[in-house]
Amino acid sequence: MTRRRIFADSLNSIASALADRSERPSGWLRTTLTWTASRELIIEAEASMEESERSFAKIEESNLERLALLSREDRDEFFSRHPRWQQLYANRLLCVTLCQSAAVHYVDGRFGVKDFDVWTFYAQHPDEAFPWRRVGRKDYGSSKFGKNPDDARYVGRRNHL
């Protein structure tokens, strides 16, 4: 909770205090204004640094391990629902890799993470090609990466697997 007290001698000073973006944390969820008898305005803002379109938190090895686990869970769920694909591809895994904007952020730390795209590659089976446009979705869960406010159904960052 961020709290700022100002002496408000006019509506202009109130407007000026509210407009001062340097006093506002990003991602304000709720703002409360309290007007005291001594003409003091208390501005309280409950901020969530967790909710922003992009997270600039550093991606570390432990985060990659978490993504690998989510990818494995997704593969296991997919193969349990599709025994034919399991028979053909369960033992043909080549690699699992972080891709798109999250991969760029991992390398340079400046791009930010909107969501995690994790791609899985398989050696092609001679009988049938893997469904190349198959996309699984998982929630990263609560973490330092926060969540995208546009993804209301997720606790953390969305993962495309």
CA separation for the pair 161, 158 (Å, rounded):
10
The pLDDT of residue 22: 44
User: What distance, in Å, lies between the first and last C-alpha atoms of the chain?
Assistant: 36
**pLDDT value at position 65?**
94
In the sheet with 116-122, reading across from the earlier edge strand, the strands are 93-99, 116-122, 158-160, 137-139
**R_g (Cα) of the chain, nearest Å:** 23
Domain ranges of the chain: 2-47, 61-160
Q: What local confidence, expressed as pLDDT, does residue 38 receive?
A: 61
How many other C-beta atoms can be found within 10 angstroms of the C-beta atom of residue 9?
Answer: 9
Distance CA 68, CA 30 (A): 36
Q: Could you tell me which of 33, 38, 36, 37 has the C-alpha nearest to residue 14?
A: 33
> What's the predicted TM-score (pTM) here?
0.66
pLDDT tens digits for the chain (161 residues)? Answer: 444 554 555 555 555 655 554 444 344 444 555 666 665 656 554 444 456 788 888 999 999 999 999 999 999 999 999 999 999 999 999 999 999 989 999 998 888 888 999 999 999 999 999 887 788 898 888 888 888 887 888 888 888 88
DSSP SS3 for 153: coil
pLDDT of residue 46: 46
Q: Which pLDDT value is given to residue 142?
A: 85
Distance in angstroms (rounded) separating the CA atoms of residues 119 and 160: 8
Strands 93-99 and 40-47, sheet pairing: unpaired
